[in-house]
């Protein structure tokens, strides 16, 4: 009997091995077959197609169309995008240190970084880039102009610009430099013994810069609580997030686990060192644009009851990417696994492997989510992203203020404003005067500002469909009345939404004088999430109750 059982087990194991071998063989055959077809097709096109082919563009387009069926994060980066890859991981590139954008068929400086070559050599937001090193920029895209501005550190660059209020073009000659954007965008004391740090990204210096900022706040202001802001932080290097978690939790604490199709992708990340700030009370601000490493940071601190999360449900990007070389200095950024945080829940919100017939994908419905527990027994759920302990809502509506923004009219007015106002008050004290607001209103009239609301667009679609079905005449009076109600009264809408308009215009003006830090400092004055965080941190009882500390 025992021999029969042993023989049965052997045959069963043999069958599995043969099946696996056949599966691998079939997969290899399918890969070889399709590569052969593609190779033959490309050769036939090369021989017989009527026009000359652009092989590199065709190949990039083919690869992009293949990868887009998988997920948005699996992408091919050819040799010319190597600088972008380096910037993603290090925040470093060589150039002038300014953001540029396309406007009115010109490429213009949109935002110089404080302390970097562009700002030090008086390149300003609104300057039109006419020439770079003697080459005209007419008709070039933003990426084309960007590649001209970048280069080897310490090489001379000559930029010809046209500035508002100046009749003749201005020439600027200076050296390109290695530009490294600090992942910590701002840090400050915001209340008695409460510090604030904005972390913009998880590049390879994120943990070190954050540690330095917190240490300085402790040294200078003796802070006992910290608000760590990862709103709009799209993520980056997972190791940096793990290091940061390690500043607040014991060495060897499990932070995140990755699980993939291949065991090579399975890995557990633990805090690498003893905590530096073990007793600092901590609140993390997050929103719908907080993704990937930001979610690992917020989610692990929530699962381990080490921080209170305040804000909106996060993005839900729990997919792991690795960079693989693919020849000729190109790289494939490929999704290899999913992230799981200490409670066991997965961060990923969308299942790209199961698309709808139209190619779309959906979030995991709440009815299919699973309940998990934090270290102290608090209930949390999966389904994608991190649901904050205290949820706040952005109650701003899509109104005229954002249509003005979409047409770059705040930007244009700020360019004019700077020309007429050499200085303004500090970000902590600046207030847009009624005179300035009226000047902006007149500017909108002068520019013949109009817009079509989303509601009005839907109205037009409804009317077109009614005409198509022959129903427009039957409801003609109703359509006319509805049209009258939906057509924007611009003067009235400006007055009704003055607060939002003033806020967005003030931000654009402040950036011109005090750059990115000034913009942040001004924004924090009316930050609702920050207000909730401060109230919580000032109440030890509420803070402990939220985290279930001490019973």
Residues involved in catalysis: 292, 303, 317
Q: Is 500 helix (H, G, I), strand (E, B) or coil?
A: helix
**Gap between the Cα atoms of 172 and 118, Å rounded:** 9
CA distance 125 to 117: 14
Q: Is the dihedral of CA 516, 519, 522, 524 positive or negative?
A: negative
Token digits for 219? Answer: 């040294």
- Is 310 in a helix, a strand, or coil? strand
Letter string b/e over residues 295-324, b meaning 16 or more CB atoms within 10 A of that residue's CB: bbbbbbbbbbbbbbbbbbbbbbbbbbbeee
What is the CA angle 245-246-249, rounded to 5? Answer: 90
How would you write 10-44 as a 3-class SS string? HHHHHHHHHHHHHHHHHHHHHHHHHHHHHHHHHHH
* Token code pair at residue 276: 């530096």
Q: Is 226 helix (H, G, I), strand (E, B) or coil?
A: strand
Distance from C-alpha of 88 to C-alpha of 325, rounded to nearest angstrom:
16
At residue 31, φ and ψ (nearest 5 deg) are: -65, -50
Burial 224-259 (b: 16+ CB within 10 A, else e): ebbbbbbbbbbbbbbebbbbbbbbbbeeebbbbbbb
Residue 410 class from Cβ within 10 Å (0-12 exposed, 13-18 middle, 19+ buried)?
buried
Query: Which residues lie below 8 Å from residue 425, measured CB to CB, with a gap of 6+?
Result: 431
Dihedral, CA of residue 142, residue 144, residue 150 and residue 155, to nearest 10: -130
Angle between helix 498-524 and helix 409-420 axes, rounded to 10 deg: 70
d(CA 459, CA 479): 9
Handedness of CA 372, 378, 380, 386 (dihedral sign): negative
């Amino acid at each position: 009997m025992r021999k029969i059982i042993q023989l049965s087990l052997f045959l069963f194991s043999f069958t599995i091995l043969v099946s696996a071998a056949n599966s691998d063989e079939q997969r290899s055959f399918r890969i070889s077959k399709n590569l052969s077809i593609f190779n033959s097709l490309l050769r036939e096109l090369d021989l017989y197609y009527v026009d000359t082919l652009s092989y590199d563009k065709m190949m990039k387009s083919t690869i992009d169309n293949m990868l887009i069926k998988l997920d948005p994060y699996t992408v091919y980066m050819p040799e010319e995008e190597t600088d972008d890859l380096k910037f993603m991981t290090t925040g470093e590139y060589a150039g002038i240190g300014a953001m540029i954008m396309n406007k009115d068929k010109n490429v213009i400086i949109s935002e110089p970084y404080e302390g970097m070559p562009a700002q030090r050599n008086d390149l300003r937001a609104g300057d039109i880039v006419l020439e770079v090193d003697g080459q005209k920029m007419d008709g070039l895209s933003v990426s084309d102009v960007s590649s001209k501005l970048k280069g080897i550190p310490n090489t001379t660059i000559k930029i010809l610009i046209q500035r508002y209020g100046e009749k003749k073009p201005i020439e600027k000659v200076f050296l390109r430099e290695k530009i490294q954007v600090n992942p910590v965008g701002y840090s400050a004391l915001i209340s008695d013994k409460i510090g604030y740090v904005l972390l913009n990204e998880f590049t390879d210096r994120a943990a070190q810069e954050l540690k330095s900022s917190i240490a300085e706040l402790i040294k200078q202001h003796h802070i006992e609580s910290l608000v760590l802001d990862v709103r709009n932080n799209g993520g980056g290097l997972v190791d940096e997030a793990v290091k940061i978690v390690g500043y607040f939790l014991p060495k060897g604490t499990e932070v995140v686990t990755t699980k993939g199709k291949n065991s090579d992708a399975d890995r557990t990340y633990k805090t690498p060192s003893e905590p530096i700030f073990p007793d600092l009370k901590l609140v993390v601000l997050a929103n719908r644009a907080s993704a990937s490493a930001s979610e690992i940071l917020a989610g692990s601190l929530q699962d381990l009851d080490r921080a209170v999360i305040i804000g909106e449900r996060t993005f839900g990007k729990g997919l792991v990417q690795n960079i693989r070389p693919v020849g000729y200095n190109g790289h494939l950024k490929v999704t290899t696994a999913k992230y799981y945080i200490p409670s066991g829940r997965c961060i990923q919100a969308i299942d790209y492997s199961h698309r709808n017939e139209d190619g779309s994908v959906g979030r995991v419905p709440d009815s299919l989510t699973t309940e998990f527990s934090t270290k102290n027994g608090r209930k949390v759920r999966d389904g994608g992203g991190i649901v904050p302990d205290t949820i706040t809502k952005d109650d701003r509506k899509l109104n005229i203020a954002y249509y003005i923004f979409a047409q770059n009219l705040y930007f244009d007015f700020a360019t004019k404003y700077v020309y007429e106002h050499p200085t303004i008050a500090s970000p902590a004290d600046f207030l847009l005067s009624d005179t300035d607001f009226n000047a902006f209103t007149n500017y909108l009239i002068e520019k013949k500002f109009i817009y079509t609301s989303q509601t009005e667009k839907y109205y037009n679609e409804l009317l077109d469909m009614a005409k198509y079905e022959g129903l427009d005449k039957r409801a003609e009076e109703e359509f006319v009345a509805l049209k009258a109600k939906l057509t924007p009264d611009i003067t009235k809408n400006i007055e009704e939404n003055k607060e939002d308009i003033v806020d967005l215009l003030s931000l654009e003006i402040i950036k011109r004088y005090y750059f990115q830090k000034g913009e942040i400092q001004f924004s924090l004055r009316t930050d609702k999430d920050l207000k909730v965080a401060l109230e919580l941190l000032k109440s030890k009882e509420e803070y402990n109750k939220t985290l279930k500390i001490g019973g």
